[in-house]
Amino acid sequence: MNKVKLAVIGLGYWGPNLIRNINELENAEIKYGCDLRFDLIKKYSLAYPNITFISDYNRVLKDKNIDAVCIATPLSTHYKLAKLALNAGKHVLLEKPMVSSVEKGEELIKLARKKNAILMVDYTFLFTGAVSKIKALIDNNELGKIYYFDSERINLGLIRQDNNVIWDLAAHDLSIILYLFDKNKPLSVFATATKHLNEKVEEMAHITLELEGGIVAHIHVSWLSPVKIRKILIGGSKKMIVYNDIEPSEKVKVYNKGIDISREKVTPFNPAYRSGDIYIPKLDNTEALKLAAEHFVKCIQKKKKSLMDGDKVLMVVKLLESCDKSIAKGKKIKL
């Protein structure tokens, strides 16, 4: 099978990570790196002499040998760059979040289907060994009935100018929720957020998302924390999970803890607190971005849907938009 030939657009924060991981794939080859900053072009030309680094995106679009583009640029540019690539017959991998509105997302998805192209969004956490293991535990009903999903994703910076902390950080958690609980439709969202350093974008936010089946998700995101925390708690009727992404090892711990309530006596009820073993599952430690890039390449080669197909990535954008509406109106938004 021929190698998929790609171009990486954007050499700022995420683009070099894409180049490094795609460069290690046997079934892919990076032909171009593209950015408007000449200092970055010079820097990576020295680091990767086998790749042609340019500032002209049109050159990538016109090259018929390029199968796909990976877009790692600011959110405000995603729609335009992806649309140009799809119209040029290229497959597209977009950095998260997909686009800045549901309307733009719907247009790109329709265009991708029309062009028979893969349009994938780089929700890297879905490819981690931790999230994959949690998904398997939930699907195998090891946690029982799911009660809640609590997430804290906070750090100091990186403060963006073109989107708020929800679009930057909570997009990860929303994608994880839709992946883990794919059978539970989101019902409503309520969000509160504050601005402290920037009059245009919120730097701190709290989100409550209700899903079918009685699942409640809480998400706390911030750019103004003195410490970096990446922690998710999932509670079920049988077992509970703590996922701490900061841990170098033992990122996932499964607790055989819970409360069994006896309803034989009407008043008062008799709770029985259950405390059993802690299970630390073995996880795949392959870098998630490498697995995501490999998945994208295989989807192109085998002409199959990506892990987060059009409807799911569009739902993430819908939830992000709904968070903004909830903040503006100060009330719960039904989906």
- Classify 163 as helix, strand or coil: coil
- Classify 308 as helix, strand or coil: coil
Q: Over range 95-111, report the average pLDDT.
A: 96
Interatomic CA distance for residues 157 and 6, integer angstroms: 31
Domains detected in the chain: 4-122 (3.40.50.720), 126-285+318-334 (3.30.360.10)
Residue-level pLDDT at 270: 62
Residue-level pLDDT at 266: 46
Interatomic CA distance for residues 230 and 217, integer angstroms: 15
In the chain, the amino acid numbered 249 is S
Interatomic CA distance for residues 147 and 124, integer angstroms: 25
pLDDT tens-digit series, residues 247-296: 998 999 999 976 666 555 545 556 666 677 899 999 999 999 999 999 99
Report the percentage of the chain scoring pLDDT > 90: 86
Residue 3 per-residue DSSP state? P
Contact between 14 and 34 under an 8 Å Cβ cutoff? The reply is no
Per-residue tokens: 107: 């247009």
Question: Mean pLDDT across the chain, nearest whole number?
Answer: 93
Q: Is the pLDDT of residue 193 over 80?
A: yes
Higher pLDDT residue, 78 or 157?
A: 78
Residue-level pLDDT at 307: 84
Q: Is the pLDDT of residue 142 over 60?
A: yes
- Classify 111 as helix, strand or coil: helix
Contact between 105 and 313 under an 8 Å Cβ cutoff? The reply is yes
Q: Is the pLDDT of residue 138 over 80?
A: yes
Distance in angstroms between the alpha carbons of the first and the last residue of the chain: 43
- Cβ-based neighbour number of residue 38 at 10 Å: 10
Answer whether 0.85 is exceeded by the pTM.
Answer: yes
Residue-level pLDDT at 268: 55
